[in-house]
Structure formats: C-alpha cells, structure tokens
Amino acid sequence: MVKPLEFEREIYEIEKRIEELKSIGTGVQLDIDEEIRKLERKVKRKLIKLYRELTPWQRVQVARHPNRPYTLDYVKLMMNNFVEFRGDRRFADDRSIVAGFAEFDGMSVAVVGHQKGRGTKENIERNFGMPHPEGYRKALRVMKLAEKFGIPILTFVDTPGAYPGIGAEERGQAEAIGENLYEMINLKVPIVVSVIGEGGSGGALAISVGDRILMQENAIYAVISPEGCASILWRDSAKAPLAAEALKLTAQDLLKLGVIDEVVKEPIGGAHRNHQLAANILKRAVRRNLRELLNKSIDQLLEERFEKYRNIGVFSQE
Amino acid sequence: MNWFKETLSRVKRGKKVDQSLWVMCSGCKEIVYKKEVERNLKVCPKCGYHFRIGAWERINMLLDEGSVVERDGNLAPMDPLKFKDTKRYKDRIEDAQKKTGMKDAVVSVEGTIHGVSVQFVAFEFGFLGGSMGSVVGEKIARAAERSMEKREPLIIVSCSGGARMQESMLSLMQMAKTCAVVRRLSEAKVPFISILSDPTTGGVSASYALIADVVIAEPGALIGFAGPRVIEQTIGQKLPEGFQRAEYLLEHGFVDMIVERKHMKDIIYRIIKLLTGGSYVHSS
Ligand SMILES: [Zn+2]
C-alpha cells in the first residue's frame, strides 16, 4: 500500500471504509450495498472536484506519484512485441532510459523513454530515472536506427533531471544532451513525444525534440525543479510550492505558452488510479497524432519541426 | 616593490585598499595593480588567471578596430510568465539593464578578424548571470542565420550559468532552438566556433556550446552541465581539485584546445583560414 498524498487522504479514508464494508459481505444486507454505492459516488465526486482544482504544487506530487504508470507500463499497455535494445556501444547501458522497438497501431515504432523504478531496489537500479550521458547516447543510437529503417519514434518523458554526478560530468553530460537536440531536430522520421510524469529540464528535453509534444494533464515540465528554483531564487527550498506556481509547469499553462501541442486527459483521480484507462487515452492521442504525421512528406515534416522550435520565445523589438 | 609589500601587509591586517587601483586575483589571491591587469587583457600578470570580462570588452579584444556593427540591439526581454520570486522578473530586468547598459545578456555584432568577416555573439555575465532566455536564443538564432546567408563563420563566446529560470520552459526551449539553427549552419558548411569562458554551464553548455565545429576554452574556465554545488549536495562529497575546469574537459576529450586570451584572436583567424581553405569539392 502506497502512502496517500496529503490532499488525497480523505478519499483514501472513504475507500478504506468501502473495503471494510465489502469485507462484511455484499448481498447479505441490502443497506450495506446501498452504503457502498453511496460512498463510491462520494469518492468519484470528491476526486473530480479535487483534481479540477489541483494547485501546481499538488500536480507536482501527482506527477511524482509512486504508483503512476512509467514508460514500460505504457509500452506494455499500448504496444505489442516490445524488444529492448541496450547499451550505447561506447561506455555502458544506462537503465534509467529504456530504448527498443515494438508494434503500435499495426506498425513498427521505436520507443525511447525515461524509466523510474518501483521500490528502493529497482529505483537504485534505474537511478530514479536520472540518466547519465550513456543513457542519452543509447537513446540517440536507437533513434538513428529507427531513422535508417523508416520507423517512427515515440518517446516518453519522465525524469527528475539528468544526473548531477562526477561520472556524468566526466563523460560529457552537457555534450550528450546537446548532441541529442542537434540530431533530433533533423531525424527523418516522425517523432511523437509524450510527457507522462516529470519533465525535468535539459534531462527531459534531451529526448523531447519532436513533431508533436503531448502532455498528460497531471504531468509537469519545467526548466528546473520547484525545489531547485526555490533554493536559488528564494534561498529556501521549502518555498517550492511558490516556485511551482511561478514556473508555469502544468500542461494547461504550457499549452497556452505554445510549448506543447496537446493536453492528454487522465482517468478521474489521476493516471495512478487506473493504468489501463490512462494507457488507452494516451494511446488514442498518440495514434491520432502519428497518423497525421505519417501523411506528411519528409521535407514538410522537417520544415515544420524546425519552424516549431525556431519560433519559440517571447521578446519585444521596437 | 616596497609599496607593493606594504599594500599587501595592509590588506592582511584587514585595512582597506583603494579598490580603484588594486584588485585581488581569484587565482593566486595576490593583490595586483588594476592597470597592469587591464593592460594584460584582464589576465593576472602573476599567475595567468583569466578575469571574467564583459561582452563589449570581448568584442573589442577579438574584432578589428572600426569593423564592428551591432545587430539585433533592439531585441528586449518581456515577462510572459509574470514571474515573481522575492523580486519581480520585470524589476530584475530593469536593474540588469541599468547596471550593464544592455537590453539582455548577449551582444551580437558583425565585424572582421584580421580582415575576415564574421558573425560574433558575446555573453554578458553581469546581466542576470548571462542566463539564456528568449532574447538570447533569438539573437543566437539570427546570428546563425546571417552566418548562413553571408557565408561568414559564426563565433559565440559563452559566459553563462545556463537557462533563465524566470522564463521557465520558454528558456529551456531556447536550447532546442539554438541547436536547430546551428544544425542548419552545419549543413550549409559554414564554420561555427564556440568559445567557452568562465562559467559555461547548464542549458548553455547542454545546447549549442559543446557541439560546435571547434570548441575552444579559456584557461581555468568552469564548464559543465550541473553546477559544482548541486553535484556536491547530490553525492555528499567534496569534488576533486580542478573538476569541471577547462583542463579537465580537455583531458576528457570535450574541448579541442585551451587558448590563452592573448592568443585567442590569432587562433580564431588561423582556424577559419584552415577550415575554409579546402580544395577538394566532392559531389554526390
Ligand atoms: Zn593571479
């Protein structure tokens, strides 16, 4: 049992009560059945209201929810015949990024995504979804392979950020990220990006340059973590909720700013409450976007991708 | 040198030195005569430490006198997020503009280097830590596009802590934007020389700065993705001496060369001559 988020506690209490009632036995007494149905309606009502009014900081908690579906969950629920390719052929295999090929909507696709772990052991193995340079280089290797064989690329973004460590710097974290931006802008196949959890700065961007940027409604994406921003600008990391607000890191805000192309709905109460439904909704959005992109010539695709990034920015010139 | 020793001992005793005449070198911690440092291209005459310099100083140092014309000087930042921390972003911009006399953190010019025409962009660290927001990204993009159009090499001297937090995702996207235009420049086969000065970190190092045709670092410059303090906090240990310095990057294969300030102009000139002097034109 995962610890409920602070603002979900009341709902968890009601759900616990429902479980208790169910264990007494349904169908035995009609008034218990009625009570259960009443409570279930109450949970739904409360969840709808709660999630409609989430603050940016609460969304950060949802985006980081330990039960939230990760890349490999979506691969399993959206695709068939996934084969993972490992290693960057230069230094190592970085387990915080998964890459490979699968069948999606009746065709081959390349899959690249950050991968967090469940539980301490797996999280250490996955380095909490924080890649080293070899992760980005593996991603690029597989994307280049996809380009060679004319296979569209689907990426899944979910990282607190690129790992800040000695080995990462020694092996060129900055160069690896820059190289991916430089290459992805010109990969000659359609790229659909889905931000499914945390979009942590450059470490997220390094697999996020594409033709369509989709973002789940409780995912976040920012130039720096709210905690990092708060500790620099407020000199107090406890001001993270304020930073979360200021950074405009929600899908709704980023759609308005023109940074993403589409907000993808989640099940009532967040993707962590229903993986299958979250995957079904995301799958439909990815498929629709991919089909549109497949109709474009490569010249048109690359021109539109270039223009999209070329035109981002707000400034004045008198 | 008696006057010098006297000054030094005064400093050691905690007495004030006339800061308009003397400056302490961050390299050797000695008190050095300001005029002498300035005559020496702002390099410590005792230990060779390269003091940080401003955008215009850099331009005057590297481009031929009288050749410089500023471009895109009318681009100014806005505050699309209405960002406010302990202070409004709007006010931070105003203060930085007053302090530096610049509209944002880069100056973009055209000019010549020993007679060779180039497009040149220099960062001003004094403007919000040289951070890259919409204006910086746009000016780099336009400079690269002029490079392509005129077939003149692009030179960028970076001096930046990274992406500008107050423009959040719009800043992050400048990384992709600058890489996109630099990619086109590369396909047009016009040389791009990236010069890394102290510091070049975060979103600037992780975008166009390390993927140039030629990457040159100034001695001792801090270059890396994550800042040293963030790394220390993450791994819970002190970083080794010289970590993330230009010499460290050279050793690990991420910069082509380290060049002292006094040789920088000549090296740039020689590299441009060599890279544009190819005689074998292959057709596909
Ligand atoms: Zn010195």
Is A318 within the bounds of a domain? no
Q: In this structure, are A221 and A104 located in the same domain?
A: yes
Is A1 within the bounds of a domain? no
Q: What is the pLDDT of residue B185?
A: 98
Q: Which of A33, A53, A73 is the last residue of a domain?
A: A53
Q: CA-to-CA distance for B89 and A151, rounded, in angstroms?
A: 44
Q: Do A315 and B135 touch (CB under 8 A)?
A: yes
| A164 closest CB neighbour out of B176, B223, B231 | B231
B226 to each of A93, A138, A164, A167, B203, how far by Cα in Å? 21, 21, 6, 12, 9
The answer to whether residue A253 scores a pLDDT higher than 80 is yes
All residues at 6 or more sequence positions from B107 whose CB lies less than 8 Å from its CB, including other chains = B55, B56, B59, B70, B73, B121, B122, B124
Q: What is the pLDDT of residue A22?
A: 86
Residues of chain B neighbouring A201 (CB-CB closer than 8 A): 163, 172, 203
User: CB contact, 8 Å: A304 with chain B?
Assistant: no
User: CB contact, 8 Å: B83 with chain A?
Assistant: yes
Q: What is the pLDDT of residue B9?
A: 55
Is A299 within the bounds of a domain? yes
At A119 the three-state DSSP class reads helix
Is A253 within the bounds of a domain? yes
Residues of chain A neighbouring B141 (CB-CB closer than 8 A): 310
Q: Do B176 and A247 touch (CB under 8 A)?
A: no
Of residues B79 and A25, the one with the higher pLDDT is: B79
Compute the distance from residue B220 Cα to the ligand 1 centre, in Å.
12
Looking at the complex, report in whole angstroms how far the Cα of residue B39 sits from the nearest Cα belonging to chain A.
35
* Range 240-299 of A in CB contact (< 8 A) with B: 242-243, 246-249, 254, 257, 259
CATH of the domain at A253: 3.90.226.10
Domain that holds residue A16: 6-53
Q: Are B93 and B79 in contact (CB under 8 A)?
A: yes
* Range 30-69 of B in CB contact (< 8 A) with A: none
Write the pLDDT tens digit of every residue in A173-196.
999 999 999 999 999 999 999 999
Instruction: Provide the sign of the torsion angle of the four alpha carbons A180, A183, A189, A195, taken in this order.
Output: positive
Q: In this structure, are A27 and A98 located in the same domain?
A: no
User: CB contact, 8 Å: B209 with chain A?
Assistant: yes
pLDDT along chain B (284 residues), means of 10: 54 65 93 94 96 97 98 97 96 98 98 98 98 98 98 98 98 98 98 98 98 98 96 93 97 98 98 93 64
Is A317 within the bounds of a domain? no
Q: Tokens for A197?
A: 């959890």
Mean of pLDDT values over A74-102? 98
Give the total number of structural domains in chain A.
2
Q: Are A180 and A209 in contact (CB under 8 A)?
A: yes
- pLDDT-above-70 percentage for chain A: 98
Is A134 within the bounds of a domain? yes
Q: In this structure, are A16 and A88 located in the same domain?
A: no
Q: CA-to-CA distance for A294 and B197, rounded, in angstroms?
A: 44
All residues at 6 or more sequence positions from B13 whose CB lies less than 8 Å from its CB, including other chains = none
Looking at the complex, report in whole angstroms how far the Cα of residue B171 sits from the nearest Cα belonging to chain A.
7
Q: In this structure, are A227 and A99 located in the same domain?
A: yes
Q: In this structure, are A204 and A142 located in the same domain?
A: yes
Q: In this structure, are A155 and A10 located in the same domain?
A: no
| A272 burial level (CB within 10 Å; 0-12, 13-18, 19+) | buried
Q: Which of A18, A37, A53 is the last residue of a domain?
A: A53
Domains and CATH numbers, chain B: 1-51 (no CATH), 52-276 (3.90.226.10)
**Beta strands per DSSP E along A106-168:** 107-114, 153-159
Q: In this structure, are A277 and A154 located in the same domain?
A: yes
Q: Do B205 and A259 touch (CB under 8 A)?
A: no
Residues of chain A neighbouring B72 (CB-CB closer than 8 A): 317
User: CB contact, 8 Å: B207 with chain A?
Assistant: yes
Nearest residue to A154 (alpha-carbon basis) of A296, A307, A289, A281:
A289
Q: Do A177 and B163 touch (CB under 8 A)?
A: no
pTM score > 0.90 for this model?
Answer: yes
Is A316 within the bounds of a domain? no
Neighbours of A51 (CB within 10 A): 21
Q: What is the pLDDT of residue B281?
A: 74
Q: In this structure, are A15 and A91 located in the same domain?
A: no
Q: In this structure, are A89 and A132 located in the same domain?
A: yes
Q: Are A192 and A239 in contact (CB under 8 A)?
A: no
Q: Are B159 and B199 in contact (CB under 8 A)?
A: yes
Q: Do B243 and A232 touch (CB under 8 A)?
A: no
**Beta strands per DSSP E along chain A:** 80-84, 97-104, 107-114, 153-159, 191-200, 212-216, 220-222, 262-264, 315-317
Name the one residue in this structure whose structure tokens are 């016009």.
B190
Q: In this structure, are A21 and A80 located in the same domain?
A: no
* Range 175-194 of A in CB contact (< 8 A) with B: 175, 177-179, 181-182, 185-186
The answer to whether residue A169 scores a pLDDT higher than 60 is yes
Residue A161 exposure: Cα atoms within 13 Å on the Cβ side: 23
Q: In this structure, are A11 and A122 located in the same domain?
A: no
Compute the distance from residue B14 Cα to the ligand 1 centre, in Å.
20
Q: What is the pLDDT of residue B20?
A: 85
Q: What is the pLDDT of residue B1?
A: 46
Q: What is the pLDDT of residue A145?
A: 98
Q: In this structure, are A128 and A241 located in the same domain?
A: yes
Q: Tokens for B247?
A: 């010499």
B85, B186, B229, B255, best to mutate vs chain A, most A CBs in 10 Å: B85
Q: What is the pLDDT of residue A163?
A: 98
Looking at the complex, report in whole angstroms how far the Cα of residue A178 sits from the nearest Cα belonging to chain B.
4
